[in-house]
Structure 1
Amino acid sequence: MKIEHICETLRKENVIQSKNIHFKKLNGGSSSEVYLVDNTYVVKLNKKEVIEEEVNFLQKYQGVKMLPKLIYTNLAEAYLVYEFKKGDTCYPRKNKQLLLEDLVNNFINKYEMVSSNQTWGWSSSPTDSWHRFLLDRVIDAKEMLKDKLLDNDFSIILTLINKKEKENNDAYYIHGDCGVHNFIFHNNKLSAVIDPTPVYGEPIYDLIYAFCSSPDDLTKETIEAASSHLIKGNKSGRDLYEDVTIGLFLRLATCLRHHPADFEDYMKSWKYWREIVAK
Protein backbone atom coordinates (compact mmCIF):
# COMPACT_ATOMS: atom_id res chain seq x y z
CA MET A 1 0.00 0.00 0.00
CA LYS A 2 1.55 3.31 -1.11
CA ILE A 3 1.31 6.34 1.14
CA GLU A 4 0.17 8.45 -1.81
CA HIS A 5 -2.92 6.26 -2.19
CA ILE A 6 -3.64 6.47 1.54
CA CYS A 7 -3.32 10.25 1.56
CA GLU A 8 -5.73 10.52 -1.35
CA THR A 9 -8.20 8.29 0.50
CA LEU A 10 -7.90 10.44 3.61
CA ARG A 11 -8.53 13.56 1.56
CA LYS A 12 -11.63 12.03 -0.05
CA GLU A 13 -12.89 10.94 3.38
CA ASN A 14 -12.38 14.53 4.64
CA VAL A 15 -9.90 13.35 7.25
CA ILE A 16 -7.32 15.68 5.68
CA GLN A 17 -8.53 19.03 4.36
CA SER A 18 -5.47 20.31 2.50
CA LYS A 19 -5.14 19.78 -1.24
CA ASN A 20 -1.35 19.64 -1.21
CA ILE A 21 -0.55 16.90 1.28
CA HIS A 22 2.98 16.61 2.62
CA PHE A 23 4.34 13.48 4.24
CA LYS A 24 7.62 12.01 5.45
CA LYS A 25 8.58 8.55 6.59
CA LEU A 26 9.34 8.04 10.28
CA ASN A 27 11.20 5.36 12.14
CA GLY A 28 8.47 2.78 12.64
CA GLY A 29 10.33 0.25 14.75
CA SER A 30 10.85 -3.36 13.72
CA SER A 31 7.75 -4.06 11.62
CA SER A 32 5.56 -1.00 11.08
CA GLU A 33 5.72 1.53 8.28
CA VAL A 34 4.99 4.98 9.70
CA TYR A 35 4.48 8.39 8.10
CA LEU A 36 3.95 11.90 9.41
CA VAL A 37 1.33 13.67 7.29
CA ASP A 38 1.00 17.48 7.25
CA ASN A 39 2.74 17.58 10.64
CA THR A 40 -0.65 16.67 12.11
CA TYR A 41 -1.37 12.99 11.54
CA VAL A 42 0.52 9.74 11.89
CA VAL A 43 -0.27 6.99 9.39
CA LYS A 44 0.79 3.52 10.49
CA LEU A 45 0.80 0.39 8.32
CA ASN A 46 1.35 -3.18 9.45
CA LYS A 47 -0.26 -6.59 9.22
CA LYS A 48 -4.03 -6.42 9.59
CA GLU A 49 -4.03 -8.31 12.90
CA VAL A 50 -1.39 -5.99 14.37
CA ILE A 51 -3.31 -2.87 13.33
CA GLU A 52 -6.53 -4.34 14.71
CA GLU A 53 -4.95 -4.99 18.11
CA GLU A 54 -3.68 -1.43 18.32
CA VAL A 55 -7.03 -0.01 17.20
CA ASN A 56 -8.79 -2.01 19.93
CA PHE A 57 -6.45 -0.64 22.57
CA LEU A 58 -6.74 2.99 21.41
CA GLN A 59 -10.53 2.71 21.28
CA LYS A 60 -10.71 1.12 24.72
CA TYR A 61 -8.67 3.91 26.30
CA GLN A 62 -9.73 6.79 24.06
CA GLY A 63 -10.18 9.07 27.09
CA VAL A 64 -6.59 8.60 28.32
CA LYS A 65 -4.63 11.74 27.47
CA MET A 66 -1.29 9.92 27.33
CA LEU A 67 -2.48 8.01 24.26
CA PRO A 68 -2.78 9.61 20.81
CA LYS A 69 -6.32 10.13 19.56
CA LEU A 70 -7.39 7.61 16.95
CA ILE A 71 -8.58 9.49 13.85
CA TYR A 72 -9.25 6.89 11.16
CA THR A 73 -9.03 3.15 10.60
CA ASN A 74 -8.91 1.02 7.48
CA LEU A 75 -8.51 -2.61 8.49
CA ALA A 76 -9.12 -3.85 4.96
CA GLU A 77 -5.96 -2.06 3.84
CA ALA A 78 -4.22 -2.55 7.21
CA TYR A 79 -3.52 0.96 8.39
CA LEU A 80 -4.64 3.44 11.03
CA VAL A 81 -4.33 7.19 11.52
CA TYR A 82 -3.85 8.92 14.84
CA GLU A 83 -3.01 12.42 15.99
CA PHE A 84 0.63 13.47 15.99
CA LYS A 85 1.97 14.15 19.47
CA LYS A 86 4.68 16.81 19.63
CA GLY A 87 8.05 15.64 20.93
CA ASP A 88 10.46 12.83 20.22
CA THR A 89 11.46 9.40 21.49
CA CYS A 90 14.84 10.51 22.82
CA TYR A 91 14.74 9.48 26.47
CA PRO A 92 16.33 12.16 28.70
CA ARG A 93 18.14 10.14 31.37
CA LYS A 94 17.56 12.61 34.17
CA ASN A 95 15.10 11.34 36.74
CA LYS A 96 13.67 7.87 36.10
CA GLN A 97 11.70 7.92 39.33
CA LEU A 98 9.67 10.98 38.30
CA LEU A 99 9.19 9.51 34.82
CA LEU A 100 7.79 6.27 36.25
CA GLU A 101 5.57 8.06 38.75
CA ASP A 102 4.14 10.15 35.90
CA LEU A 103 3.60 6.99 33.86
CA VAL A 104 1.74 5.31 36.72
CA ASN A 105 -0.43 8.29 37.66
CA ASN A 106 -1.42 9.32 34.14
CA PHE A 107 -1.43 6.04 32.26
CA ILE A 108 -1.15 2.73 34.10
CA ASN A 109 -3.69 3.71 36.76
CA LYS A 110 -6.24 4.14 33.95
CA TYR A 111 -6.18 0.44 33.05
CA GLU A 112 -9.40 -1.54 33.30
CA MET A 113 -9.94 -5.09 34.47
CA VAL A 114 -10.85 -7.69 31.86
CA SER A 115 -14.18 -9.45 32.21
CA SER A 116 -12.69 -12.89 32.78
CA ASN A 117 -9.57 -13.94 34.64
CA GLN A 118 -9.40 -17.04 32.45
CA THR A 119 -7.66 -15.02 29.72
CA TRP A 120 -4.04 -13.95 30.07
CA GLY A 121 -1.07 -12.96 27.92
CA TRP A 122 -1.00 -11.51 24.42
CA SER A 123 -4.50 -10.39 23.47
CA SER A 124 -3.85 -11.72 19.95
CA SER A 125 -3.01 -15.21 21.26
CA PRO A 126 -4.01 -15.53 24.91
CA THR A 127 -3.14 -18.37 27.24
CA ASP A 128 -4.88 -19.76 30.32
CA SER A 129 -2.73 -18.21 33.06
CA TRP A 130 -0.30 -15.42 33.87
CA HIS A 131 2.15 -18.05 35.03
CA ARG A 132 2.03 -19.75 31.61
CA PHE A 133 2.55 -16.47 29.76
CA LEU A 134 5.59 -15.54 31.85
CA LEU A 135 7.01 -19.07 31.72
CA ASP A 136 6.84 -19.09 27.91
CA ARG A 137 8.65 -15.76 27.80
CA VAL A 138 11.32 -16.96 30.25
CA ILE A 139 11.93 -20.12 28.22
CA ASP A 140 12.50 -18.01 25.10
CA ALA A 141 14.81 -15.66 27.00
CA LYS A 142 16.75 -18.57 28.47
CA GLU A 143 17.69 -19.78 24.99
CA MET A 144 19.00 -16.32 24.15
CA LEU A 145 20.96 -16.05 27.40
CA LYS A 146 22.33 -19.59 27.67
CA ASP A 147 25.92 -18.48 26.98
CA LYS A 148 25.72 -15.39 29.19
CA LEU A 149 24.33 -16.55 32.53
CA LEU A 150 25.04 -19.32 35.03
CA ASP A 151 22.83 -22.36 35.55
CA ASN A 152 22.04 -20.97 38.99
CA ASP A 153 20.64 -17.82 37.39
CA PHE A 154 18.14 -19.88 35.44
CA SER A 155 17.24 -21.86 38.56
CA ILE A 156 16.51 -18.64 40.43
CA ILE A 157 14.19 -17.40 37.70
CA LEU A 158 12.33 -20.70 37.35
CA THR A 159 11.78 -20.76 41.10
CA LEU A 160 10.30 -17.25 40.99
CA ILE A 161 8.14 -18.10 37.97
CA ASN A 162 6.77 -21.25 39.58
CA LYS A 163 5.63 -19.22 42.59
CA LYS A 164 3.35 -17.37 40.17
CA GLU A 165 1.31 -20.53 39.67
CA LYS A 166 -0.20 -20.08 43.12
CA GLU A 167 -1.18 -16.43 42.62
CA ASN A 168 -4.76 -15.43 41.94
CA ASN A 169 -4.54 -11.79 40.83
CA ASP A 170 -6.84 -9.83 38.56
CA ALA A 171 -6.13 -9.44 34.84
CA TYR A 172 -6.17 -6.00 33.21
CA TYR A 173 -5.95 -4.84 29.61
CA ILE A 174 -2.43 -3.40 29.50
CA HIS A 175 -0.06 -1.87 26.93
CA GLY A 176 2.38 -4.79 26.77
CA ASP A 177 5.35 -2.92 25.24
CA CYS A 178 5.55 -0.08 27.72
CA GLY A 179 9.21 0.90 27.38
CA VAL A 180 11.06 4.18 26.83
CA HIS A 181 11.35 3.31 23.13
CA ASN A 182 7.57 3.84 22.93
CA PHE A 183 7.48 7.06 24.96
CA ILE A 184 7.17 10.55 23.48
CA PHE A 185 8.96 13.28 25.41
CA HIS A 186 8.21 16.99 25.09
CA ASN A 187 10.25 19.55 27.03
CA ASN A 188 11.97 16.62 28.76
CA LYS A 189 8.68 15.32 30.16
CA LEU A 190 6.64 12.27 29.23
CA SER A 191 3.83 13.42 26.92
CA ALA A 192 2.58 10.25 25.21
CA VAL A 193 2.79 6.46 25.06
CA ILE A 194 2.54 4.84 21.61
CA ASP A 195 2.64 1.45 19.86
CA PRO A 196 0.78 -0.89 22.22
CA THR A 197 1.10 -4.66 21.88
CA PRO A 198 -1.84 -5.40 24.17
CA VAL A 199 -1.62 -7.96 26.94
CA TYR A 200 -4.10 -9.31 29.49
CA GLY A 201 -2.01 -9.09 32.60
CA GLU A 202 -1.00 -7.28 35.76
CA PRO A 203 -0.58 -3.48 35.64
CA ILE A 204 2.71 -3.76 37.48
CA TYR A 205 4.07 -5.72 34.50
CA ASP A 206 3.98 -2.52 32.43
CA LEU A 207 5.61 -0.52 35.23
CA ILE A 208 8.44 -3.03 35.58
CA TYR A 209 8.76 -3.21 31.79
CA ALA A 210 9.25 0.56 31.71
CA PHE A 211 11.66 0.45 34.67
CA CYS A 212 13.82 -2.17 32.94
CA SER A 213 13.62 -0.68 29.45
CA SER A 214 16.70 1.47 30.00
CA PRO A 215 19.82 0.49 31.98
CA ASP A 216 19.96 3.61 34.16
CA ASP A 217 18.84 3.83 37.77
CA LEU A 218 17.68 0.22 38.18
CA THR A 219 17.59 0.53 41.95
CA LYS A 220 15.26 -0.77 44.59
CA GLU A 221 14.44 2.74 45.76
CA THR A 222 13.36 3.90 42.28
CA ILE A 223 10.91 1.08 41.63
CA GLU A 224 9.55 1.18 45.19
CA ALA A 225 8.75 4.88 44.86
CA ALA A 226 6.98 4.40 41.52
CA SER A 227 5.11 1.27 42.62
CA SER A 228 3.71 3.09 45.65
CA HIS A 229 1.61 5.19 43.24
CA LEU A 230 -0.14 2.16 41.73
CA ILE A 231 -3.79 1.95 42.70
CA LYS A 232 -4.42 -1.30 40.79
CA GLY A 233 -2.34 -4.37 41.54
CA ASN A 234 0.23 -2.63 43.72
CA LYS A 235 3.02 -4.77 45.11
CA SER A 236 5.75 -4.09 47.62
CA GLY A 237 8.60 -5.77 49.42
CA ARG A 238 9.66 -9.21 48.30
CA ASP A 239 6.71 -9.66 45.91
CA LEU A 240 7.82 -6.55 44.05
CA TYR A 241 11.51 -7.53 44.06
CA GLU A 242 10.75 -10.95 42.60
CA ASP A 243 8.65 -9.47 39.81
CA VAL A 244 11.41 -6.98 38.99
CA THR A 245 13.96 -9.80 38.81
CA ILE A 246 11.77 -11.68 36.33
CA GLY A 247 11.30 -8.51 34.28
CA LEU A 248 15.02 -7.79 34.28
CA PHE A 249 15.80 -11.34 33.15
CA LEU A 250 13.48 -10.88 30.18
CA ARG A 251 15.07 -7.51 29.46
CA LEU A 252 18.55 -9.10 29.33
CA ALA A 253 17.44 -11.19 26.37
CA THR A 254 15.81 -8.21 24.65
CA CYS A 255 18.97 -6.21 25.19
CA LEU A 256 21.10 -8.86 23.49
CA ARG A 257 18.77 -8.85 20.47
CA HIS A 258 18.40 -5.12 20.02
CA HIS A 259 20.85 -3.16 22.19
CA PRO A 260 23.91 -5.34 22.87
CA ALA A 261 26.01 -2.30 23.81
CA ASP A 262 23.92 -1.96 26.99
CA PHE A 263 24.35 -5.57 28.09
CA GLU A 264 27.23 -5.03 30.53
CA ASP A 265 25.30 -2.30 32.32
CA TYR A 266 22.29 -4.61 32.58
CA MET A 267 24.48 -7.39 33.93
CA LYS A 268 25.58 -5.15 36.80
CA SER A 269 21.93 -4.61 37.66
CA TRP A 270 21.22 -8.32 37.27
CA LYS A 271 23.82 -9.15 39.94
CA TYR A 272 22.36 -6.45 42.19
CA TRP A 273 18.80 -7.82 41.91
CA ARG A 274 19.92 -11.44 42.11
CA GLU A 275 21.45 -10.69 45.51
CA ILE A 276 18.25 -8.98 46.68
CA VAL A 277 16.00 -11.98 45.93
CA ALA A 278 18.59 -14.42 47.28
CA LYS A 279 18.34 -12.96 50.79
Structure 2
Amino acid sequence: MSNPIINELIQNRIIPESICHWSELKGGTHSKVGVIGTLNSPKMYVVKSNEPQRIAAETRFFQIYKEIPSLPSVRYVDPEYRYFVYDFIPGETNYNRTRKQELMSDLTKLMLQFYVQAESLDEYEWVEDPKRVTEDILYSESIIGSHLDAADHALVKDIHLRRQKRILRADLYVLHGDFGVHNFLFEEGKLYGIIDPLPKLGRRLYDVLYAFCSSPDGLHLPILVNAAEQLGNEPIQTHELIEDMIMALYFRIATCLLHHPEDLTLYQTAWKEWKLY
Protein backbone atom coordinates (compact mmCIF):
# COMPACT_ATOMS: atom_id res chain seq x y z
CA MET A 1 0.00 0.00 0.00
CA SER A 2 1.07 3.60 -0.49
CA ASN A 3 0.20 4.61 3.07
CA PRO A 4 3.53 4.87 4.97
CA ILE A 5 2.05 3.99 8.36
CA ILE A 6 0.40 0.85 7.00
CA ASN A 7 3.62 -0.17 5.26
CA GLU A 8 5.52 0.38 8.50
CA LEU A 9 3.05 -1.73 10.48
CA ILE A 10 3.25 -4.56 7.95
CA GLN A 11 7.06 -4.46 7.81
CA ASN A 12 7.22 -4.63 11.61
CA ARG A 13 4.69 -7.49 11.59
CA ILE A 14 2.22 -5.57 13.72
CA ILE A 15 -0.57 -6.28 11.22
CA PRO A 16 -0.77 -9.08 8.61
CA GLU A 17 0.45 -8.63 5.05
CA SER A 18 -3.08 -9.30 3.83
CA ILE A 19 -4.14 -5.83 4.99
CA CYS A 20 -4.92 -3.95 1.80
CA HIS A 21 -7.93 -1.77 2.56
CA TRP A 22 -7.76 1.75 4.02
CA SER A 23 -10.61 4.21 4.51
CA GLU A 24 -10.17 7.52 6.27
CA LEU A 25 -12.70 8.55 8.89
CA LYS A 26 -13.58 11.91 10.32
CA GLY A 27 -11.44 12.25 13.44
CA GLY A 28 -11.07 15.00 16.00
CA THR A 29 -9.82 18.49 15.32
CA HIS A 30 -6.22 17.34 14.93
CA SER A 31 -6.47 13.55 14.62
CA LYS A 32 -6.22 11.51 11.47
CA VAL A 33 -8.19 8.28 11.74
CA GLY A 34 -8.31 5.40 9.30
CA VAL A 35 -9.95 1.98 9.28
CA ILE A 36 -7.90 -0.83 7.78
CA GLY A 37 -8.61 -4.41 6.86
CA THR A 38 -8.53 -7.09 4.19
CA LEU A 39 -10.69 -7.52 1.11
CA ASN A 40 -12.92 -9.92 3.03
CA SER A 41 -12.85 -7.94 6.31
CA PRO A 42 -12.35 -4.25 5.44
CA LYS A 43 -12.89 -3.09 9.03
CA MET A 44 -10.43 -4.87 11.30
CA TYR A 45 -8.33 -2.14 12.95
CA VAL A 46 -8.31 1.59 13.48
CA VAL A 47 -5.11 3.62 13.06
CA LYS A 48 -5.15 6.98 14.79
CA SER A 49 -2.38 9.56 14.43
CA ASN A 50 -1.94 12.86 16.22
CA GLU A 51 0.63 14.94 18.08
CA PRO A 52 2.81 12.71 20.30
CA GLN A 53 1.53 14.21 23.55
CA ARG A 54 -2.05 13.51 22.48
CA ILE A 55 -1.27 9.92 21.53
CA ALA A 56 0.62 9.38 24.80
CA ALA A 57 -2.30 10.76 26.83
CA GLU A 58 -4.93 8.73 25.01
CA THR A 59 -3.06 5.44 25.10
CA ARG A 60 -2.25 5.93 28.79
CA PHE A 61 -6.00 6.31 29.37
CA PHE A 62 -6.68 3.06 27.51
CA GLN A 63 -3.98 1.32 29.54
CA ILE A 64 -5.58 2.45 32.81
CA TYR A 65 -8.99 1.18 31.71
CA LYS A 66 -7.91 -1.78 29.60
CA GLU A 67 -10.35 -4.12 31.37
CA ILE A 68 -13.42 -2.14 30.25
CA PRO A 69 -14.94 -3.97 27.24
CA SER A 70 -16.71 -0.90 25.82
CA LEU A 71 -13.37 0.84 25.23
CA PRO A 72 -11.09 0.09 22.27
CA SER A 73 -8.57 -2.69 22.72
CA VAL A 74 -5.16 -1.25 21.83
CA ARG A 75 -3.03 -3.46 19.59
CA TYR A 76 0.06 -1.31 19.18
CA VAL A 77 1.48 2.06 20.20
CA ASP A 78 4.23 3.63 18.13
CA PRO A 79 7.33 4.10 20.34
CA GLU A 80 7.52 7.75 19.24
CA TYR A 81 3.79 8.23 19.86
CA ARG A 82 3.03 9.23 16.29
CA TYR A 83 0.06 6.86 16.11
CA PHE A 84 -1.53 3.80 17.67
CA VAL A 85 -3.67 0.87 16.49
CA TYR A 86 -6.79 -0.54 18.09
CA ASP A 87 -9.44 -3.10 17.22
CA PHE A 88 -12.33 -1.71 15.23
CA ILE A 89 -15.55 -1.28 17.25
CA PRO A 90 -18.73 -1.60 15.19
CA GLY A 91 -21.57 0.82 15.75
CA GLU A 92 -22.93 4.22 14.83
CA THR A 93 -23.15 7.54 16.68
CA ASN A 94 -26.90 7.65 16.07
CA TYR A 95 -28.14 8.21 19.59
CA ASN A 96 -31.91 7.90 20.06
CA ARG A 97 -32.96 11.13 21.76
CA THR A 98 -35.81 9.50 23.66
CA ARG A 99 -33.59 7.30 25.84
CA LYS A 100 -31.57 9.63 28.07
CA GLN A 101 -32.30 7.76 31.31
CA GLU A 102 -31.29 4.44 29.77
CA LEU A 103 -28.16 6.00 28.30
CA MET A 104 -27.05 7.45 31.63
CA SER A 105 -27.64 4.14 33.39
CA ASP A 106 -25.66 2.25 30.73
CA LEU A 107 -22.79 4.72 30.95
CA THR A 108 -22.50 4.08 34.68
CA LYS A 109 -22.58 0.31 34.29
CA LEU A 110 -20.19 0.21 31.32
CA MET A 111 -17.76 2.98 32.26
CA LEU A 112 -18.30 5.39 35.14
CA GLN A 113 -18.34 2.82 37.93
CA PHE A 114 -14.83 1.71 36.92
CA TYR A 115 -13.20 5.14 37.15
CA VAL A 116 -10.05 5.21 39.29
CA GLN A 117 -8.38 7.99 41.20
CA ALA A 118 -5.37 9.61 39.62
CA GLU A 119 -1.80 8.45 40.19
CA SER A 120 1.41 10.44 39.84
CA LEU A 121 1.80 9.15 36.27
CA ASP A 122 -1.50 10.66 35.25
CA GLU A 123 -0.37 14.20 34.55
CA TYR A 124 -3.56 15.26 32.90
CA GLU A 125 -5.12 18.69 33.15
CA TRP A 126 -7.43 19.33 36.12
CA VAL A 127 -10.62 20.13 34.27
CA GLU A 128 -12.28 21.98 37.17
CA ASP A 129 -9.31 24.09 38.20
CA PRO A 130 -11.02 27.32 39.38
CA LYS A 131 -8.74 29.46 37.19
CA ARG A 132 -9.54 27.36 34.15
CA VAL A 133 -13.27 27.47 34.91
CA THR A 134 -13.12 31.27 35.21
CA GLU A 135 -11.57 31.43 31.76
CA ASP A 136 -14.17 29.00 30.40
CA ILE A 137 -16.99 31.15 31.80
CA LEU A 138 -15.65 34.30 30.19
CA TYR A 139 -15.16 32.54 26.87
CA SER A 140 -18.65 30.99 26.98
CA GLU A 141 -20.15 34.37 27.87
CA SER A 142 -18.53 35.87 24.76
CA ILE A 143 -20.14 33.16 22.62
CA ILE A 144 -23.58 33.13 24.26
CA GLY A 145 -24.02 36.88 24.52
CA SER A 146 -27.66 37.96 24.34
CA HIS A 147 -28.95 34.41 23.89
CA LEU A 148 -29.17 34.45 27.70
CA ASP A 149 -30.03 37.37 29.97
CA ALA A 150 -27.45 39.38 31.90
CA ALA A 151 -28.88 37.84 35.09
CA ASP A 152 -28.14 34.37 33.68
CA HIS A 153 -24.48 35.21 33.09
CA ALA A 154 -24.28 36.65 36.60
CA LEU A 155 -25.89 33.50 38.05
CA VAL A 156 -23.14 31.30 36.57
CA LYS A 157 -20.40 33.52 38.00
CA ASP A 158 -22.05 33.45 41.44
CA ILE A 159 -22.30 29.65 41.36
CA HIS A 160 -18.64 29.42 40.38
CA LEU A 161 -17.63 31.44 43.44
CA ARG A 162 -19.87 29.44 45.79
CA ARG A 163 -18.75 25.99 44.73
CA GLN A 164 -14.98 26.49 44.64
CA LYS A 165 -14.38 25.14 48.17
CA ARG A 166 -16.14 21.85 47.54
CA ILE A 167 -14.42 21.47 44.15
CA LEU A 168 -11.04 21.89 45.85
CA ARG A 169 -11.90 19.16 48.38
CA ALA A 170 -13.03 16.61 45.80
CA ASP A 171 -11.10 13.47 44.87
CA LEU A 172 -9.63 13.51 41.37
CA TYR A 173 -10.35 10.67 38.96
CA VAL A 174 -9.01 9.94 35.49
CA LEU A 175 -11.84 11.08 33.22
CA HIS A 176 -12.67 10.48 29.59
CA GLY A 177 -12.95 14.25 29.20
CA ASP A 178 -15.00 14.30 25.97
CA PHE A 179 -17.78 12.08 27.26
CA GLY A 180 -20.58 13.00 24.85
CA VAL A 181 -22.96 11.25 22.49
CA HIS A 182 -20.67 12.07 19.54
CA ASN A 183 -18.17 9.60 21.06
CA PHE A 184 -20.66 6.84 21.92
CA LEU A 185 -21.25 3.95 19.52
CA PHE A 186 -24.64 2.25 19.38
CA GLU A 187 -25.76 -1.10 17.98
CA GLU A 188 -29.51 -1.56 17.57
CA GLY A 189 -30.09 1.37 19.87
CA LYS A 190 -27.92 0.03 22.72
CA LEU A 191 -24.69 1.61 23.90
CA TYR A 192 -21.88 -0.58 22.60
CA GLY A 193 -18.61 1.38 22.56
CA ILE A 194 -16.94 4.56 23.80
CA ILE A 195 -14.14 6.18 21.80
CA ASP A 196 -11.89 9.25 21.47
CA PRO A 197 -11.06 10.35 25.03
CA LEU A 198 -9.43 13.68 25.81
CA PRO A 199 -8.24 12.56 29.24
CA LYS A 200 -8.62 14.95 32.16
CA LEU A 201 -8.58 14.82 35.95
CA GLY A 202 -11.66 15.72 37.91
CA ARG A 203 -14.77 14.54 39.70
CA ARG A 204 -16.64 11.65 38.15
CA LEU A 205 -19.64 13.95 38.17
CA TYR A 206 -17.92 16.07 35.51
CA ASP A 207 -18.20 13.26 32.96
CA VAL A 208 -21.76 12.48 34.13
CA LEU A 209 -22.80 16.08 33.46
CA TYR A 210 -20.90 16.21 30.18
CA ALA A 211 -22.72 13.13 28.89
CA PHE A 212 -26.06 14.33 30.25
CA CYS A 213 -25.80 17.73 28.53
CA SER A 214 -24.27 16.47 25.29
CA SER A 215 -27.74 16.09 23.76
CA PRO A 216 -30.70 18.38 24.48
CA ASP A 217 -33.24 15.65 25.29
CA GLY A 218 -34.29 14.48 28.73
CA LEU A 219 -32.52 17.24 30.67
CA HIS A 220 -34.66 16.75 33.77
CA LEU A 221 -33.66 16.69 37.43
CA PRO A 222 -34.94 13.18 38.32
CA ILE A 223 -32.90 11.61 35.51
CA LEU A 224 -29.73 13.40 36.61
CA VAL A 225 -30.28 12.59 40.29
CA ASN A 226 -30.68 8.92 39.40
CA ALA A 227 -27.46 8.98 37.36
CA ALA A 228 -25.52 10.70 40.15
CA GLU A 229 -26.83 8.28 42.77
CA GLN A 230 -25.65 5.32 40.70
CA LEU A 231 -22.07 6.48 41.19
CA GLY A 232 -22.45 5.34 44.81
CA ASN A 233 -20.06 7.91 46.26
CA GLU A 234 -22.09 9.56 49.00
CA PRO A 235 -25.59 11.00 49.47
CA ILE A 236 -26.49 13.49 46.76
CA GLN A 237 -26.89 17.11 47.81
CA THR A 238 -29.55 18.17 45.35
CA HIS A 239 -28.86 21.91 45.55
CA GLU A 240 -25.17 21.30 44.76
CA LEU A 241 -26.07 19.00 41.88
CA ILE A 242 -28.36 21.69 40.46
CA GLU A 243 -25.56 24.26 40.63
CA ASP A 244 -23.18 21.88 38.87
CA MET A 245 -25.79 21.24 36.20
CA ILE A 246 -26.37 24.93 35.57
CA MET A 247 -22.63 25.38 35.04
CA ALA A 248 -22.44 22.39 32.67
CA LEU A 249 -25.50 23.54 30.74
CA TYR A 250 -24.04 27.02 30.35
CA PHE A 251 -20.90 25.63 28.76
CA ARG A 252 -22.99 23.33 26.57
CA ILE A 253 -25.06 26.24 25.27
CA ALA A 254 -21.84 27.90 24.11
CA THR A 255 -20.76 24.68 22.41
CA CYS A 256 -24.20 24.36 20.84
CA LEU A 257 -23.96 27.84 19.32
CA LEU A 258 -20.59 26.99 17.80
CA HIS A 259 -21.35 23.52 16.48
CA HIS A 260 -25.07 22.65 16.72
CA PRO A 261 -27.09 25.89 16.56
CA GLU A 262 -30.18 23.93 15.52
CA ASP A 263 -30.41 22.65 19.12
CA LEU A 264 -30.31 26.09 20.75
CA THR A 265 -34.06 26.39 21.39
CA LEU A 266 -34.11 23.05 23.23
CA TYR A 267 -31.16 24.04 25.40
CA GLN A 268 -32.72 27.41 26.17
CA THR A 269 -35.88 25.61 27.29
CA ALA A 270 -33.81 23.39 29.57
CA TRP A 271 -32.02 26.47 30.93
CA LYS A 272 -35.32 28.04 31.97
CA GLU A 273 -36.27 24.83 33.78
CA TRP A 274 -33.01 24.48 35.67
CA LYS A 275 -32.61 28.05 36.85
CA LEU A 276 -36.03 27.84 38.54
CA TYR A 277 -34.93 25.03 40.89
TM over 0.5, yes or no?
A: yes
Partner deviation per Cα, 1:173-207 (whole Å, 9 max, x = no partner) = 11111000000111211111111111110001101
Which residue is equivalent to 1:9?
8
How far apart are residue 18 of structure 1 and its match? 3.6
Superposed CA deviations along residues 130-161 of structure 1, whole A, max 9, x for unmatched, are 33332232222111112322111111111111
CA contact (8 A) 2:126 2:202 kept: no
Off by >4 Å, runs of 4+ in structure 1:
none
The corresponding residue for 1:107 is 111
When residues 96 and 50 of structure 1 are mapped into structure 2, their CA distance, relative to the original with a 3 A threshold, is same
Q: Which digits, 9 at most, give the CA deviation of each residue in 1:41-66, with x for residues without a partner?
A: 11111222211211111111111112
Equivalent positions of 1:83-232 (< 5 A) are 83-115=87-119, 123=124, 125-126=125-126, 130-167=129-166, 168-232=169-233
1:80 corresponds in structure 2 to 84
C-alpha contact (below 8 Å) 1:43/1:81 kept by paired residues: yes
Aligned partners of 1:233, 1:194: CA distance in 2, in Å? 29
Residues 98 and 217, structure 2, Cα contact 8 Å, conserved in 1: no
Q: Distance in 1 between matches of 2:99 and 2:133?
A: 29
Q: Cα deviation per residue 1:184-236 (whole Å; 9 max; x = unaligned)?
A: 11121111111111111000110110000001111112111212211247734
Deviation at 1:126, TM superposition (A): 4.6
Residues in 2 aligned to 1:162 and 1:3: alpha-carbon distance in whole angstroms: 55
Return the letter of the residue paired with 1:99. Answer: L
Q: Could you tell me how far 1:30 is from its partner in structure 2?
A: 2.6
Corresponding position of 1:257? 258
Residues 209-218 or 78-87, more deviating: 78-87
Q: CA RMSD in A?
A: 2.2
CA–CA separation in structure 1 for the residues paired with 2:30 and 2:21: 23
Task: Give the letter aligned to residue 198 of structure 1.
Answer: P
User: 8 Å contact 1:202–1:233 — kept in the other structure?
Assistant: no
Shift of 1:13: 2.3
TM-superposed CA distance for 1:248, in Å, is 0.3
Q: What whole-Å deviation, never above 9, does each CA across 1:98-148 have from its counterpart, x for those lacking one?
A: 1111101220111111247xx99x91x458x63333223222211111232
Q: Would you say how many aligned residue pairs link Structure 1 and Structure 2? A: 270
Q: Name the SS of the counterpart of 1:230 in structure 2.
A: coil
- 2:104 alignment partner AA: L
More off after superposition, 36-45 vs 76-85: 76-85
Cα separation, 2, equivalents of 1:232 and 1:86: 33
Residues 58 and 67 in structure 1, CA contact (< 8 A), matched pair in contact too? yes
**What's the CA shift string for 1:66-88, capped at 9, x where partnerless?**
21111111253621111111111
Per the alignment, in what secondary structure is the counterpart of residue 24 of structure 1? strand
Change (3 A) 1:15 1:203: same
SS in 2 for 1:191: strand
Residues of 1 paired with 2:2 and 2:68: CA distance? 28
Q: Post-superposition shift, 1:252?
A: 0.4
Label 1:234 to 1:206 Cα distance change in 2 as closer, same or farther (>3 A).
farther
Alignment pair present for 1:21 and 2:20 = yes
- The offset of 1:20, in angstroms, is 4.4
Contact 1:227 1:236 in 2 (8 A): no
